[in-house]
Amino acid sequence: MRVKTCSEETTEGLGLLVGRTLDRRLTILLQGELGAGKSVFARGIARGLDVPATIPVTSPTFTLMNQYTGRFNLYHFDLYRIAAGDELEDIGFDEFAFGAGVALVEWPERLDALDFDHLLVQIERVSASCRSLSFSARGESQTLFLSQLEKKLRLEENPDIRWFE
């Protein structure tokens, strides 16, 4: 599935829909250049999981992980500054990323392998305000979730989201 958004609000709104659609534990990998909109999309997911609007959702660039409480526990990782795999062990990455909650992982290319079930969201900056978001799934449950998300998104008929067919 691939869509285009042309405002920060629409990108966050798409994340909101992802969060509202989540009904299971899921690891979501957010891939994109600096400034692509990964944290904006992540904020939308947090709001869709009922993380209160009074709680700021920001990229954990220096802390490596932020944890939020909503319908599911949300673990938001930023691996940009990870230099070695033992840093992931030190913060308990496997415990959180593959536990009972939802894990968002920015900069997943820093992981040694991506051979686990996940939803990959590749965010590309098309212009100053527009983003292309490509979704792909690895694993049966993740594929089912992606199908549910696509159906829900098409039903909403949001004019600010354009489909790439």
Q: Quick one: pLDDT at residue 159?
A: 67
Q: Quick one: pLDDT at residue 99?
A: 82
Task: Give me the mean pLDDT over the 11-29 stretch.
Answer: 93
Q: Quick one: pLDDT at residue 120?
A: 96
Per-residue pLDDT tens digits for 134-162: 999 999 989 999 999 988 888 776 767 77
Q: For residue 63, what is the domain's CATH number?
A: 3.40.50.300
Nearest to 102 by CA among 134, 56, 67, 78: 67
Task: Give me the mean pLDDT over the 23-39 stretch.
Answer: 92
* DSSP string of 3-64, one letter each residue: EEE-SHHHHHHHHHHHHHH--S-EEEEEE--TTSSHHHHHHHHHHHTT--TTS-----TTTS
Per-residue pLDDT tens digits for 118-128: 999 999 999 99
Per-residue pLDDT tens digits for 36-82: 999 999 999 999 999 999 999 988 877 788 999 999 999 999 888 88
Count of domains in the chain?
1
Rounded Cα distance between 89 and 92, Å, is 5
The domain of 27 spans: 2-163
End-to-end CA separation in angstroms for the chain: 8
What is the pTM for the complete model shown?
0.90
Task: Give me the mean pLDDT over the 79-94 stretch.
Answer: 77
